[in-house]
Amino acid sequence: MVAFAQLGVVIVILLVLVGTSIRVLREYERGVVFMLGRFWKVKGPGLVILIPVVQQMVRVDLRTVVLDVPPQDVITRDNVSVKVNAVIYLRVVDPEKAIIQVVRYLDATSQLAQTTLRAVLGKHELDQLLAEREKLNMDIQRVLDVQTDAWGIKVSNVEIKHVDLNETMIRAIARQAEAERERRAKIIHAEGELQASEKLLQAAQMLAQAPQAMQLRYLQTLGNIAGDKSTTIVFPLPMDLLSALRGGAKGD
């Protein structure tokens, strides 16, 4: 009986050791294996067998991670205070560096993203921040990617989500936009007046070169006026007719 009990204990111990030594890694996982505390190799995916007590393994997920950057107080180059938040897309490309070179690489990348966001956006004016968002996204992504390369992290994309302004700045921007619209309207009106005056000048020159055309235009204007029944027309006597009458009177 004692022998059977000892054999049972041994079997249980063996089963526990086997259970602790076998790992199954999914396709998107890798295992960073340490032997007696020193880095040994990166293994996976699939079945991984470890030597109990001697070897330990840390799982690393290789899928793209979406990291939210909390709102940051940013002072632009033209001294405007805004709140900006963003989202970052990153993934592990070197599991060894991600585990050995940095503690909690996601937290480290988040903190780095916050400082980088403030530093990059602080070099630009508010108008650039609102109008050139794609360019700023690329600038932030480039800076982050260079700094996280030593951690085995690849920052694939950065997107600025919201730019929050205070009420005073919103009113100032609205007044600026209204003034810009008024300026454009005045310019368009002035250009229209200039074009109209040029056309009138051309028409006057053409009529001056053809007196018959002036007489036809005169008659057309009278016809338009006569269409209104409530209008009284004082028809001027042409000077040519007066000259003819004077000549006839002198002849008599």
pTM of this prediction exceeds 0.75: no
Do 105 and 139 fall within a single domain? yes
CA distance 87 to 127: 21
- The whole-number average pLDDT for the span 200-215 is 68
Q: Is residue 87 part of a domain?
A: yes
Confidence of residue 182 (pLDDT cuts 50, 70, 90): confident
Q: 109: domain CATH number?
A: 3.30.479.30
Average per-residue pLDDT for the chain: 81
Do 76 and 51 fall within a single domain? no
pLDDT attached to residue 166:
72
Q: Is the pLDDT of residue 209 over 80?
A: no
Q: What is the pLDDT of residues 129-176, one digit of tens each?
A: 888 889 999 999 999 999 999 999 999 999 998 888 776 665 666 666
Distances (CA, A) of 152 to 61, 101, 200: 12, 8, 74
Q: What is the pLDDT of residues 27-39, one digit of tens each?
A: 999 999 999 989 9
User: Which of 147, 165, 183 is where one domain is finished?
Assistant: 165
- The whole-number average pLDDT for the span 67-92 is 90
Ramachandran region, residue 152 (left: φ > 0; alpha: ψ -120 to 50; beta: rest): left
Q: Is residue 208 part of a domain?
A: no
Q: How many residues does the chain have?
A: 252
Q: Is residue 218 part of a domain?
A: no
Please report which residue ranges of the chain form alpha helices under DSSP H.
2-21, 95-100, 105-121, 126-131, 133-148, 167-209, 211-226, 239-251
pLDDT attached to residue 9:
67
User: Which of 165, 193, 208 is where one domain is finished?
Assistant: 165
Do 69 and 57 fall within a single domain? no
Do 101 and 29 fall within a single domain? no
Structural domain that includes position 82? 65-165
User: Which of 103, 131, 165 is where one domain is finished?
Assistant: 165
- The whole-number average pLDDT for the span 75-85 is 87
Confidence of residue 195 (pLDDT cuts 50, 70, 90): confident
Orientation of helix 133-148 relative to helix 105-121, angle to 10°: 140
Do 79 and 53 fall within a single domain? no
Q: Is residue 184 part of a domain?
A: no
Domain count, the chain: 2
What share of the chain has pLDDT > 90, as a percent? 38
Confidence of residue 197 (pLDDT cuts 50, 70, 90): confident
